[in-house]
Chain A
Amino acid sequence: MKITVMLNGKKIEEEISPDMLLIDFVRGHGCFSVKRGCETSNCGLCTVFMDDMPVLSCSVLAARASGRRVETLEGLQEEAEEFGSFIADQGAEQCGFCNPGMIMNAIALFRENPDPSDEEIKEYLAGNLCRCSGYEGQLRGIREFLEYRRSKRTGGAI
């Protein structure tokens, strides 16, 4: 079957098999940031945006993405760099395998709730597993990033 997907701002028309999963479609188009960490929709590594909503690309039929906008970290490099550097400043990226999914979902969180509390951060990112970092460093990085954004908003005049 034929689908049309806006992948990272680029229109892609392609003939696919009806059971192709979105993760395989986007990886097939060079979006290697999207990782597969499980088969049971539990790890969050494959998080992409579909019409701005964070979803698990391992659990979405590529067919269902037809006519929709799909974004991966490849399409959000500036945001990834800006926010990611705060994770890196904590050394909390560690192996890095879960980072793209976590960073995608964190970006979704910041868009939905620009000023989240610690509890809201943890709740929102609960579906992003990490086995290296123990999560605390990610939380520190997120807090620092939010602080930086606040100071940027107020022109640094705090």
Chain B
Amino acid sequence: MLKIKEYVKAESLEEAYQLNQKKKSCILGGMLWLKMGSRTIQTAIDLSGLGLDKIEETEEAFSIGCMTTLRQLEKHEGLEKLTQGAIRQSVESIVGVQFRNLATVGGSIFGRFGFSDVLTCFLALDTYVELYHGGIIPLEEFAAAKKDRDILVRLIVKKTPVHCVYMSHRNTRTDFPVLTCAVSEDGRGVRAVVGARPGRAVCIRLEEDSLEGGLDGSLDAAAEGLAAQVTTGSNMRAGASYRSVLAKVLIRRGLCRLLEERGIS
């Protein structure tokens, strides 16, 4: 069982940051992962009094506070519109409503969990993280970095026009994913993000023009090319070869949907 010696509701990020520099301190997210462990935490730091549980919209971006719940993401109209439902789809298979009312964006992203649907989807968008100490850096950079004792304050999703498709394969509908896949296209090109490999999500970019052939011929080849760059492994949910098969199938389906979107727009 998780043991907590002291609970502090931080009054400022500076206080939280200072407290968090100790090894036995821990910032609380939604507690869903944390509570299953049996570690002893000297100081549990709660950020829930700092107003970071909101999604704010500006001209250029959505700013998502780290204490925003997955359920808030799911129900946010602006994000729904920007991502054509992809953000909603990325979270709606996560356990259940009561779970998503607790799980936080900060917890999901900071943990850089391999199985993370949320990380997969945000990596497909023009996303940055704001760290209290480290400033604003691209999410992709953050995801690849080692865990440190900084605080993830918010996620910033630029309103870069994007077509985005989110898919996952699961053994049961609300289980951890066997594979996650987000395919998107914005001004910067086409990318496929594959997570739950079972390792952390990776982002792969498509060579320009390789989709020029449209819906026939080149699609398979493009999907195969992208999937070949995804390293997969085995865990109790599935084996590596199946994950590789799924990666190809989901990427192809995603690209296919993107091409259909192109046709529409």
Q: Do A and B touch directly, given a CB cutoff of 8 Å in the complex? A: yes
Measured CB to CB, the residues of A under 8 A from B are: 1, 18-19, 21, 39-42, 44, 47, 53-56, 58-61, 63-64, 105, 108-109, 123-128
Bound complex: CA A79 to CA B53 (Å): 30
Closest Cβ neighbor of A20 among chain B residues: B4
B44 touches A18 (CB 8 A): yes
B35 touches A59 (CB 8 A): yes
Known: A40-B36, A59-B32, A126-B174. A54 touches B98 (CB 8 A): yes
Question: B100 → chain A, closest Cβ, in Å?
Answer: 8
Known: A53-B101, A60-B102. A1 touches B7 (CB 8 A): yes
Add 7 more A-B contacts to A41-B32, A58-B35, A61-B7 (CB < 8 A): A19-B1, A41-B35, A42-B95, A53-B101, A54-B97, A64-B28, A127-B99
Any A CB within 8 A of the CB of B46: yes
A61 touches B36 (CB 8 A): no
B31 touches A61 (CB 8 A): yes
Any A CB within 8 A of the CB of B81: no
Contacts of A1 in B (CB 8 A): 7
B7 touches A39 (CB 8 A): no
Known: A54-B97, A59-B30, A126-B173. A19 touches B3 (CB 8 A): yes
25 A–B contact pairs at CB < 8 A?
A18-B6, A18-B7, A19-B4, A21-B35, A39-B36, A41-B32, A41-B36, A42-B95, A44-B96, A54-B101, A56-B98, A56-B99, A59-B31, A60-B31, A60-B102, A61-B4, A61-B28, A63-B7, A63-B46, A105-B96, A124-B97, A126-B96, A127-B96, A127-B99, A128-B96
